[in-house]
Amino acid sequence: MTVDPDTLAYPVEPAPEPIRLLGPDGRLVDGAEPTLTVEQVVAAYKLMWLSRRIDERAFNLQRQGRLGTFSPTRGQEASVLGSGLALRPGTDWLVPQYRELTAMLYHDQPIDLWFAYWMGHMQGSATPDTLRILPTQIALAAQLPHAVGLAWGRKIQGFDEVVITYFGDGASSEGDFHEALNLAGVTKAPVIFLLQNNGWAISTPRSKQSAATSFAARGPGYGMPGVVVDGNDLLAVYEVSKRAAQRARDGLGPTLIESMTYRLGPHNTADDSVRYMDADELERRELEDPVTRVRLYLDSHDAWNDDDEEALAAEHKTIIDEAVAAAEAHQPEPERLFDHVFAEPTHRLADQRTQVLTNARGGIHA
Amino acid sequence: MTVDPDTLAYPVEPAPEPIRLLGPDGRLVDGAEPTLTVEQVVAAYKLMWLSRRIDERAFNLQRQGRLGTFSPTRGQEASVLGSGLALRPGTDWLVPQYRELTAMLYHDQPIDLWFAYWMGHMQGSATPDTLRILPTQIALAAQLPHAVGLAWGRKIQGFDEVVITYFGDGASSEGDFHEALNLAGVTKAPVIFLLQNNGWAISTPRSKQSAATSFAARGPGYGMPGVVVDGNDLLAVYEVSKRAAQRARDGLGPTLIESMTYRLGPHNTADDSVRYMDADELERRELEDPVTRVRLYLDSHDAWNDDDEEALAAEHKTIIDEAVAAAEAHQPEPERLFDHVFAEPTHRLADQRTQVLTNARGGIHA
Amino acid sequence: MPEMNMVDAIHDALTIAMEADDTVMILGEDVGANGGVFRATDGLQAKFGEDRVVDAPLAEGVIAGAAVGLAIAGMTPIAEIQFLGFAHQAYHQIADQVARYRSRSQGRFNLPIVIRSPFGGGVRAPELHSDALEAQFVHCPGLKVVCPATAHDAKGLLLASIADPDPVLFLEPLRGYRLVTDEVPEDAYTVEIGKARVVRTGTDITLIGWSAGVFLAEKAADVLAKDGISAGVVDIRTLAPLDIDTIVAEVSATGRAVIVQEAAMTCGFGAEVATTLAAEAFFSLESPITRVGAPDAPYPLPGLEKMYIPDVAAVVAGAKVAMEAV
Amino acid sequence: MPEMNMVDAIHDALTIAMEADDTVMILGEDVGANGGVFRATDGLQAKFGEDRVVDAPLAEGVIAGAAVGLAIAGMTPIAEIQFLGFAHQAYHQIADQVARYRSRSQGRFNLPIVIRSPFGGGVRAPELHSDALEAQFVHCPGLKVVCPATAHDAKGLLLASIADPDPVLFLEPLRGYRLVTDEVPEDAYTVEIGKARVVRTGTDITLIGWSAGVFLAEKAADVLAKDGISAGVVDIRTLAPLDIDTIVAEVSATGRAVIVQEAAMTCGFGAEVATTLAAEAFFSLESPITRVGAPDAPYPLPGLEKMYIPDVAAVVAGAKVAMEAV
Ligand SMILES: Cc1ncc(C[n+]2csc(CCOP(=O)(O)OP(=O)(O)O)c2C)c(N)n1
Ligand SMILES: Cc1ncc(C[n+]2csc(CCOP(=O)(O)OP(=O)(O)O)c2C)c(N)n1
Ligand SMILES: [Mg+2]
Ligand SMILES: [Mg+2]
């Protein structure tokens, strides 16, 4: 027993230094021992660029009125891909929010469906059965309980699968965050909570989101470790995620990873971030661009050159052109409104379906 | 920056020792320096007994069908009173759940209204304007956001007031807990979160409620310190609460206190705890009864004797008899259904009111 | 056939479902050693183990939300919300996740979830334990809402709900748990979701209810019979989907209808029934449809609940109004 | 009188209220430097300070729940929920705390809270941003629900809501924010909560709507006029309390009614209006009341929303059905 009543069993402490293997200059930090091979890093680098180019195309399409409101992953490619790489596509599960494109690409997300979804075509929601990615989640943090249930349910059935779920610094304030992490702790669910701290929730800065010096400090309050990593360092994010996945597979339960990254631009296509973001800060952050960092690393290994870069750009253009064309080819299929509400439509729904499909207008009367 | 990817910035650590000044044997722990005077402890002791006797009476009345389902405070008197003592009745605010009778008594809760409420009389809800106790809250943890808003709102207006809110280990799993503590951290609201860890949420043991080794570990995740105290030690609970109140007044914001106590009996009058509670464990816990502990302490100071005890019992009997009689004198006042829905009843409500008050039956037709 | 009360019938259905299918699991507050605060899951944890009957942490949101993930994982989760009032803590998960997941994934992820919850008043419970909130959930596309009024239907509809590939909110009338007793077949059987039950036919007026409202309607029909009024009773039984045809058929025969809901009047499920009925049986109606319900006030403390929730006299009074209007 | 769009009218009301009363404060997501995602609070933080215009952490439950405490503390909180769909995350606080606190404390603690939120579809927003969920809140005793359809009413009703000693859910038609423009007096004024607005009188049929439903009703009335049908339009304006007398008066004159809701049909607010209207105007009704609304399916992705939410043609079609039935 402690007798001093001034004892704070859990004082507020300064934020820890994030784990980093690769510096913004593309050099390994002293003592760093990355386990990703250079070939793997090359593959990752390609995906990061693909992701960024899809982002750019989507942004342009939105400006042309050909795509709806969407949130780019720009700046967070290392954060989402480094973690996604630690899981096995088709075996392990990705439970996304909406800003994890790079990880989804690694886990076989069809690009045309991605475009279709953000264009507002419901066809984009119909993903292949082999894809172990849950639907994009618009309600912040609402996917966290799903991730826990999924991980727990697969574990109950004896499967050796890991679930990773992504969410932002803003979403971490929702009650769902708390309830989900607490249940994960109790059930020792094999799940990784990848908190992408990108500094902003739309216009709300990190400092107003929580007085916690680190979000990862919340882990022990649920009986799980909290890890802080440089989210713009692909190698570091991979290493900590790999370890979290291993712990999950070993029956040691969940891990909370706070990935320190930065949103390099507006929240989404509807956002005017000039209203609240400091231009100098943004410029400074651009220097920590996770894609550049990997390029510098590959340069130092003579594993990539400008010709490769050009070839890649051309390849990506083709891929994206095709995906966009496929996505834009979708026609409205109004039956999609009705056919997946239940396995069998109710009488009422069947009547409403007839009305909508018969008349070329919106809504119904009764 | 940290280079070792095995670094867990926040590992799961064993629970800390709670702060204790007074042992179960009624002796001060070596080095303990309580600041409550013996006279104050005598006054507290009386309240603890009053609380326990009200509990007992209520339990009996329930068994006779004269009172509804209610949850006794038995075993948690030191936990709620020690903390309640650190605040100023009529100045500071109590935001209760439903198991904080002893603290409410110190903060001037009229006993007859307490009985009336649990008897189901709406008159019991009409507390005097001077009482700084919010209504009993049945929805678990729902009062936590209110406590934060209240503390914050009084602070904005320049008042020097502190809010304490009570809730259980079970309630701590609700999303409201998380959202409230996080907002309190950000606003530096002068509020004390007094988590009564009594080992149970109805039949759910602490071990199934959370994998956290300590609930207090959650404090830093909201930018506030977490304190662990022996909740059956009146002196210790008082000391840590006093310090938390002082921090709040000093503008340092909220504190999370985990008060380690035990529910000495069933959850409520409808609960059959034999189904899930271990009888031996309960017996062992009875030995840590917080009331006995204070009596032993007073004995060692020659501050209380059996005559005092007898006189007190008689005094309490009179008080409780009177309160029960007053509570039972209430007649149903059906207008109470309608008159406090809005400042002015809507037309529809006024019509419904007439219907209910005119006809001696339940419900309405339209 | 054995007589059984409603909570035993529910217990029976849960046992049958868990025996028949390993993926069926129960999660909720106090469902384990305690067997649920009303004993609906009594002994099931001992029988099926801690993996299949789980005392969840106290958080309704994640009870419903984890059920989504469990269902995707291949389980058949039966979540218990201890009292329906606390389903508000999970409303975002129920309305926007549980109910919409099949549609969101365009058929890929169907969720065979049942959310069981007792609801309704009349047992002098503390605040927030007694509200009849069914309408708030019927107005959630993608969710079925089932409300049995007999032990027989409780068992058959619960087994149908568990077998249903889509999410069902299964609402149990708290005050009927032990009071309602009727004949319940021992074996497994299902009652079709989407079919109302004609409790009795009448010639003068039709009383329409669900859950505890049926208890009132039946008693009111007895009282009306003494006054020479022949009142039929329809138990809607499943609110979503609604079997309007049965209701229209009955009301077309009598020309008059009373709808009994326990909930606060405005925007209750009675309004939906009345509107649909008025649209479909407009020319058979001889008098305005009467609704019986609670006032538009928060559910009071126990001392006033008898004045708040509708009783038999209110249904009789409503029926007389409908009979008198020409 | 200046012309103003709806979001400017709301901004104007907020400014007036904050200037007039130091206790008025705004809290919500992105209401500060960003001025709200629709700019309803543009510049208010700069003007009134960070204590009075607060960027809350991202948690709707505690935005509503803290408002309870702030109100008890003597503040007049105006909480913004960024999109009504996310009020589900706060449903337990709104339905059981905000709405019931006065009654729970038997009059001691009244809560002068306004919860503002944009709602409804038609702007191709992402999932869960477009639902018309008003009925889920009308069925919460203790809550007022206000739904302006014009800039004029938005300002006047918002000022009335802020002045109201009780909680008001103030719902703003998202797609009308910039599209709806009308004359708005510069000074402070209030529009009474609980009074419907007769937009135009008709002789053949009455179209009844609220919020964006009024936009449709007005256009439909124009179309019907070309077909020789004289359609009146009533803007319900405040759903709770409901001004049924105005509606009954209009419908009694025409004998026919169409109710336009944007929400999914079943259990929407239209059912309440239809039921009450049918009960009170039974003998004037020449044909069944027709409801126009969305199907009972989750709100789709933008590509299908035009087929989902009712349009002018649907209202016209509904009116024709009501005209044809004899
Ligand atoms: C429950 C809920 N509340 C509000 C919103 C509106 N909204 C969309 S994104 C966003 C900010 C999210 O911030 P964060 O979680 O940090 O993720 P980021 O966008 O930075 O990746 C808000 C408030 C929402 N989608 N869901
Ligand atoms: C939101 C909510 N969910 C469920 C309940 C039902 N319930 C009442 S008390 C209780 C257990 C509470 O445990 P804890 O928070 O530890 O408090 P204690 O009773 O031990 O003081 C439960 C589940 C409730 N009142 N509110
Ligand atoms: Mg963010
Ligand atoms: Mg407890």
Closest CA to B257 of B228, B237, B233: B228
CB distance B171 to C29 below 8 Å: no
Count of positions (residues) in chain A: 366
pLDDT tens per residue, range A295-353: 999 999 999 999 999 999 999 999 999 999 999 999 999 999 999 999 999 999 999 99
Average confidence (pLDDT) over C214-231: 98
What ligand 2 atom has the least distance to the C-alpha of C126? 25
Distances (CA, A) of B292 to B41, B57, B95, B281, C311: 13, 19, 27, 18, 50
Which residue type occupies D85?
A: G
Predicted pLDDT at C1: 82
Q: What is the dihedral of CA A176, A182, A185, A187, to 10 degrees?
A: -80
The answer to whether the Cβ–Cβ distance between A243 and B185 falls below 8 Å is no
Q: Phi then psi for B63, rounded to 5 degrees?
A: -65, -30
Predicted pLDDT at D246: 98
Q: How far apart are CA A222 and CA A144, in angstroms?
A: 14
Predicted pLDDT at D326: 64
Read out DSSP for A15-34? PPPPB-SB-TTSPBPTT---
CA C60, chain centre distance (Å): 19
Predicted pLDDT at B1: 82
What ligand 2 atom has the least distance to the C-alpha of D92? 1
Average confidence (pLDDT) over B186-191: 98
Report yes or no: C35 at the B interface, CB cutoff 8 Å: yes
Taking only the tens of pLDDT, chain A with its 366 residues reads 899 999 999 999 999 999 999 999 999 999 999 999 999 999 999 999 999 999 999 999 999 999 999 999 999 999 999 999 999 999 999 999 999 999 999 999 999 999 999 999 999 999 999 999 999 999 999 999 999 999 999 999 999 999 999 999 999 999 999 999 999 999 999 999 999 999 999 999 999 999 999 999 999 999 999 999 999 999 999 999 999 999 999 999 999 999 999 999 999 999 999 999 999 999 999 999 999 999 999 999 999 999 999 999 999 999 999 999 999 999 999 999 999 999 999 999 999 999 999 988 899 999
- Side-chain-side CA neighbours of residue B267 (13 Å): 20
* Relative orientation angle of helices B38-63 and B111-119, to the nearest 10 degrees: 30
* Relative orientation angle of helices D312-324 and D212-226, to the nearest 10 degrees: 60
Predicted pLDDT at A268: 96
Report the SS3 class of residue C315: helix
Q: How far apart are CA B61 and CA B72, in angstroms?
A: 13
Report yes or no: A122 at the D interface, CB cutoff 8 Å: yes
CB-based contacts of A321, cutoff 8 Å, min separation 6? none
Between chain B and chain D, how many beta carbons pairs sit less than 8 Å apart? 141
pLDDT tens per residue, range C250-303: 999 999 999 999 999 999 999 999 999 999 999 999 999 999 999 999 999 999
Query: Is cis: bond before D241, omega within 30 of 0?
Result: yes
Q: How far apart are CA B341 and CA D212, in angstroms?
A: 29
Does the global pTM surpass 0.95?
yes
SS (H, E, C) B56-108: HHHHHHHHCCCCCCCCCCCCCHHHHHHHHCCCCCCCCEEECCCCCHHHHHHCC
Q: Six-digit token pair at C315? A: 């249904």
Tokens 């069809």 found at = A110
Distances (CA, A) of C242 to A199, C239, C248, D267: 49, 5, 11, 11
Choose the residue to mutate in A77, A99, A140 for probing ligand 1, maximizing ligand atoms within 8 Å of C-beta.
Answer: A140
Q: Phi then psi for D172, rounded to 5 degrees?
A: -110, 130
Q: Six-digit token pair at C220? A: 């009111």
Residue C129 bears catalytic tag: yes
CB distance B69 to B117 below 8 Å: no
Q: Phi then psi for C170, rounded to 5 degrees?
A: -110, 110
pLDDT tens per residue, range C125-142: 999 999 999 999 999 999
| Adjacent-strand bridge partners of A361 | none
Which residue type occupies B220?
A: P
Residue B267 bears catalytic tag: yes
Report yes or no: A356 at the D interface, CB cutoff 8 Å: yes
Ligand 2 surroundings by CB, under 6 angstroms: B 71, 99, 138-140, 168-171, 196, 198, 200-202, 263, 267; C 29, 58, 82, 86, 89
Q: How far apart are CA D94 and CA D75, in angstroms?
A: 18
CB distance C294 to B363 below 8 Å: yes
Q: Which residue's CA is the nearest one to ligand 1's atom 19?
A: A201
Closest CA of chain B from D112, distance in Å: 10
Task: Give the Cα-Cα-Cα angle C294, C296, C300 (nearest 5 degrees).
Answer: 70
Q: What is the dihedral of CA B254, B260, B265, B267, to 10 degrees?
A: 40
Average confidence (pLDDT) over C175-196: 97
| Adjacent-strand bridge partners of A166 | A194
CB-based contacts of B305, cutoff 8 Å, min separation 6? B299
pLDDT tops 90 at residue C325: no
Q: How far apart are CA D219 and CA D90, in angstroms?
A: 35
Closest CA to B323 of B61, B48, B45: B61
- For residue D24, how far is its CA from the centre of ligand 3 (angstroms)? 29
Q: Six-digit token pair at D249? A: 């008066």
Q: Six-digit token pair at B323? A: 């309160």
Q: Six-digit token pair at C115? A: 């959310």
Q: What is the dihedral of CA C25, C27, C33, C35, to 10 degrees?
A: -90
Predicted pLDDT at C326: 64
- Determine how β-strand C24-28 pairs with β-strand C53-55: parallel
Predicted pLDDT at D185: 97
Count of positions (residues) in chain D: 326
* Burial grade of A128 (CB within 10 A; 0-12, 13-18, 19 or more): exposed
DSSP conformation class of D80: E
The answer to whether the Cβ–Cβ distance between C59 and B174 falls below 8 Å is yes
- For residue C30, how far is its CA from the centre of ligand 2 (angstroms)? 10
CA C12, chain centre distance (Å): 18
CB distance C313 to B342 below 8 Å: no
Q: Six-digit token pair at B334? A: 């059906």
Q: Which residue's CA is the nearest one to ligand 2's atom 17?
A: B168
The dihedral of CA D121, D125, D126, D128: what is its sign?
Answer: negative
Chain D residues touching residue A335 (CB < 8 angstroms): none
Instruction: Please report which ligand is nearest the Cα atom of D89.
Output: 1
Q: How far apart are CA D62 and CA D75, in angstroms?
A: 16
Report yes or no: A359 at the D interface, CB cutoff 8 Å: yes
Report the SS3 class of residue B133: strand
Task: Give the Cα-Cα-Cα angle A297, A302, A307 (nearest 5 degrees).
Answer: 100
D85, D100, D135: residue with CB nearest C139: D135
* Burial grade of C32 (CB within 10 A; 0-12, 13-18, 19 or more): buried
Residue B263 bears catalytic tag: yes
pLDDT tens per residue, range A126-155: 999 999 999 999 999 999 999 999 999 999
Report yes or no: C318 at the B interface, CB cutoff 8 Å: yes
CA C240, chain centre distance (Å): 10
Helix intervals (H) in A287-333? 290-300, 306-328
* Burial grade of A64 (CB within 10 A; 0-12, 13-18, 19 or more): exposed
Q: Six-digit token pair at B331? A: 């007649």
Report yes or no: A174 at the C interface, CB cutoff 8 Å: no
CB-based contacts of D10, cutoff 8 Å, min separation 6? D40, D116, D154, D155, D158, D172
Chain B residues touching residue A173 (CB < 8 angstroms): 178-179, 182
Ligand 1 surroundings by CB, under 6 angstroms: A 71, 99, 138-140, 168-171, 196, 198, 200-202, 263, 267; D 29, 58, 82, 86, 89
Q: How far apart are CA D67 and CA A54, in angstroms?
A: 42
The dihedral of CA D49, D51, D57, D59: what is its sign?
Answer: negative
Q: How far apart are CA A87 and CA A94, in angstroms?
A: 9
Predicted pLDDT at B360: 80
Closest CA to B47 of B85, B16, B19, B21: B85
A125, A148, A175: residue with CB nearest C104: A125
Cβ < 5 A residues, ion ligand 3: A 168-170, 198, 201
Count of positions (residues) in chain B: 366
Between chain A and chain C, how many beta carbons pairs sit less than 8 Å apart? 141
Report the SS3 class of residue C100: coil
Task: Give the Cα-Cα-Cα angle B172, B175, B177 (nearest 5 degrees).
Answer: 45
Instruction: Please report which ligand is nearest the Cα atom of A198.
Output: 3
pLDDT tops 90 at residue D310: yes
Q: How far apart are CA D259 and CA D162, in angstroms?
A: 29
pLDDT tops 80 at residue C83: yes
pLDDT tops 90 at residue C173: yes
Report yes or no: A43 at the D interface, CB cutoff 8 Å: no
